[in-house]
Amino acid sequence: MTLQEEEQPLTDAELEMRFPSVPWRDPVRISDFDGNFGFACRFCIARHGIGRDIPSLSMSAREVRRHIGEHHPWSVGHKRIRRKRF
């Protein structure tokens, strides 16, 4: 593997395959040092990290889910898993 190959970011599908236990399509709750909290996209955090200015803190969980649907569509062959209710 070359240095250039290592620096290329993983695709959404690669992230999901390499780290299957991470609930990638669920918003993650994050907070700042002042105690303000909001929700963020796990894909965006994996790609860009969390800096000082976190615009997603003002996003609701519903808005993050909408963002994920628009910017991180399901990979080919990936299906939602319906869980049984007991």
**pLDDT per residue over 17-71, tens digit each?**
899 999 999 999 988 778 888 898 998 888 877 765 555 557 899 999 999 888 8
Is the whole-model pTM more than 0.75?
A: no
Question: Is the model more confident about 77 or about 63?
Answer: 63
Q: Return the closest-CA partner of residue 12 out of 79, 74, 67.
A: 74
Q: What single DSSP character describes residue 35?
A: S
Model pLDDT for residues 35-48, shown as the tens digit of each residue: 888 898 998 888 87
What does the angle CA 28 – CA 45 – CA 81 come to, to the nearest 5 degrees? 50
Rounded Cα distance, 53 and 66, in Å: 21
